[in-house]
């Protein structure tokens, strides 16, 4: 799996390396480190949690005088503080048996937009060929960054914070089909498009129609907004992770909220977790970092608004309902 990376590292003078992998690859990280050490490099392993290429540990690498090797994500287009070697780590997975099993449902749509995360992108072309051979035409949308650096980079690739590969083709397709694992990315899409959204889960082989979640999610968001309208104390969350750091947006949101008579504080974190704000008497949080956080209402035990939702606080109050 790491042939290309090891080949690259062979060409590098013996160096100090800081190795960073996402949570899903942590069980393999010791093995990766051993392989890299065999090439004569000195390896440090970043133990900090990592959920995306937005979370580059370049400052630590610079402190260590190390080259950062980041495995498992695409280059986010950041300007790192040190040399970074990216290794995408895609998995080979044949989607055809699962598609065959679920063909009756998939054939209800004439045109599908196929989507996945980096890990399973290699399966999209196989899925397209298979479905088209069965009469379902398929599109792979191009992310807004295209082949330029910046968030999603490849046809059909989505991230929780970059759904442009899907949104760019929503007028061309009858529905979206996400192939892979994990619901976070695809639930983000359910809220941003009016088209049906299906997920073929590569762990279970089950096809799930997530379209019904749209109404439930929107009800929850609306309830958060209504609660925020009547609340006084707001905390705006800023993460210093390089690809999530948006202090100017936080300042802008603070001003808007103050226009509504709210009391607002800007809180700065690396990893944003509820324990860090225990004891601060805040009613509502506004998230400027990874969109995943706004979905995590239960952990924070209070509404977490997305930046775009602040404008909705200017609307007339309605009755909140979290059901």
Residue choice 18, 33, 41, 52 for contact with ligand SF4 (CB under 6 A): 52
Stretch that binds ligand SF4, among 157-165, 175-183, 200-208, 223-231 (CB under 6 A): 157-165
Residue 246 interacts with ligand SF4 (CB under 6 A): yes or no: no
Residue 158 is given by DSSP the state: -
- Nearest alpha-carbon partner for 180 in 90, 104, 75: 90
Residue 112 interacts with ligand SF4 (CB under 6 A): yes or no: no
Residue 164 interacts with ligand SF4 (CB under 6 A): yes or no: no
Structure token pair of residue 139: 């599109």
Residue 72 interacts with ligand SF4 (CB under 6 A): yes or no: no
- Between 54 and 189, whose beta carbon lies closer to ligand SF4? 54
Residue 5 interacts with ligand SF4 (CB under 6 A): yes or no: no
Stretch that binds ligand SF4, among 3-11, 35-43, 45-53, 133-141 (CB under 6 A): 45-53
Q: Which residue is nearest to ligand SF4 (CB)?
A: 52
Residues of 118-155 as b/e, b for ≥16 C-beta within 10 angstroms?
Answer: bbbbebbebbbebbeeeebebbbbbbebeeeebbbbbb
Residue choice 12, 25, 44, 51 for contact with ligand SF4 (CB under 6 A): 51
Three-state DSSP class for residue 323: coil
What gap in Å lies between CA 158 and CA 152, rounded to an integer? Answer: 6
Strand partners, 180: 201
User: How many residues make contact with ligand SF4 (CB under 6 A)?
Assistant: 11
Q: Measured between alpha carbons, how far apart are the two ends of the chain, in Å? A: 45
Neighbours of 196 (CB within 10 A): 19
Stretch that binds ligand SF4, among 46-54, 84-92, 138-146, 305-313 (CB under 6 A): 46-54
Contact 107, 135 (CB under 8 A): yes
Residue 292 interacts with ligand SF4 (CB under 6 A): yes or no: yes
Structure token pair of residue 115: 């989507």
The contact set with ligand SF4 (CB under 6 A) reads 51-54, 159-161, 243-244, 290, 292
């Amino acid at each position: 799996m790491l042939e290309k990376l090891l080949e690259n590292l062979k060409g590098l003078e013996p160096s100090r390396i800081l190795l960073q992998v996402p949570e899903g690859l942590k069980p393999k990280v010791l093995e990766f480190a051993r392989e890299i050490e065999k090439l004569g490099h000195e390896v440090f392993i970043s133990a900090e949690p990592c959920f995306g290429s937005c979370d580059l540990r370049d400052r630590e690498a610079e402190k260590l005088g190390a080259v950062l090797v980041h495995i498992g994500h695409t280059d986010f287009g950041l300007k790192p503080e040190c040399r970074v070697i990216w290794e995408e780590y895609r998995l080979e997975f044949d989607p055809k048996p699962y598609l065959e099993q679920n063909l009756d449902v998939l054939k209800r749509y004439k045109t599908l937009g196929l989507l996945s995360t980096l890990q399973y992108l290699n399966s999209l072309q196989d899925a397209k060929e298979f479905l088209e051979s069965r009469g379902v035409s398929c599109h792979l949308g191009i992310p807004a960054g295209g082949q330029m650096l910046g968030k999603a980079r490849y046809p059909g690739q989505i991230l929780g914070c970059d759904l442009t590969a899907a949104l760019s083709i929503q007028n061309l397709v009858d529905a979206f089909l996400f192939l892979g694992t994990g619901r976070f990315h695809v639930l983000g899409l359910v809220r941003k498009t009016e088209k049906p959204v299906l997920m073929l889960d590569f762990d279970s082989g089950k096809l799930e129609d997530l379209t019904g979640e749209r109404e439930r999610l929107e009800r929850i968001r609306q309830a958060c907004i209504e609660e925020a309208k009547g609340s006084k104390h707001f905390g705006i969350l800023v993460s210093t992770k390089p690809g999530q750091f948006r202090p100017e947006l936080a300042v802008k949101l603070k001003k808007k909220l103050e226009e509504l008579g709210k009391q607002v504080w800007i809180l700065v974190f690396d990893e944003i977790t509820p324990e860090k704000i225990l004891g601060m008497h805040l009613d509502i949080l506004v998230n400027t970092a990874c969109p995943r956080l706004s979905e995590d209402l239960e952990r924070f035990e209070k509404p977490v608004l997305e930046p775009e939702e602040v404008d909705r606080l200017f609307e007339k109050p309605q009755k909140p309902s979290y059901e």
